[in-house]
Amino acid sequence: MRGEVLIVLSFFLVALSAYFQNSGGGLSLALLLVAFFVLLAGVRELNRSRPSKRAGDAHLILGILLPILLFLNYGNPLYLLAGAFLIPAFFWKSEKAVLLLVPAGLLMGWLAMGENSSVARFVGAFLIAVSIVVGTASLYFWLRYR
């Protein structure tokens, strides 16, 4: 229960960060960084506790909603293309799902880096970094065990 509360708190902090974005940027960036640390603490708490049935499919719902919400917010249809990569990857029960997740993360990160919002640019840089790390690690382990 504590992990879910921390994750909801992180979403609230991201909303506050987006609200204060036009007021100078310092408070917005500080709130965003605090939100990511709270999100990581919530995820850590969820991973340490016994997984609940309610939170079991939350990543599927959020992963499918993210490109749709980005498309509705920014109006760029390339977000839906990234979503087309994400949907089969979330339901594919194989380690080869990374083949779809990495291009989706790179595309969404690249698109978010081009937006005016500092929150979107920060999230875009995070998505690009994670996609590069996951893609490189997957390629390394695939080549190592072949």
Q: How far is CA 122 from the centre of its chain?
A: 11
pTM of the model: 0.61
The tokens for 1 are 């229960």
pLDDT tens digits for 67-96?
A: 777 777 777 888 888 888 887 877 777 777
The tokens for 23 are 């007021």
104: number of Cβ within 10 Å: 24
Rounded-to-integer distance, Cα 35 and Cα 41, Å: 10
Q: What is the dihedral of CA 74, 79, 80, 82, to 10 degrees?
A: -170
Q: What is the pLDDT of residue 25?
A: 61
Report domain extents, the chain: 2-145
pLDDT tens track, the chain, 146 positions: 777 787 778 778 777 777 776 666 667 777 777 877 787 777 777 667 655 555 555 666 666 777 777 777 777 888 888 888 887 877 777 777 778 888 888 898 888 888 777 777 877 888 888 888 888 888 888 777 76
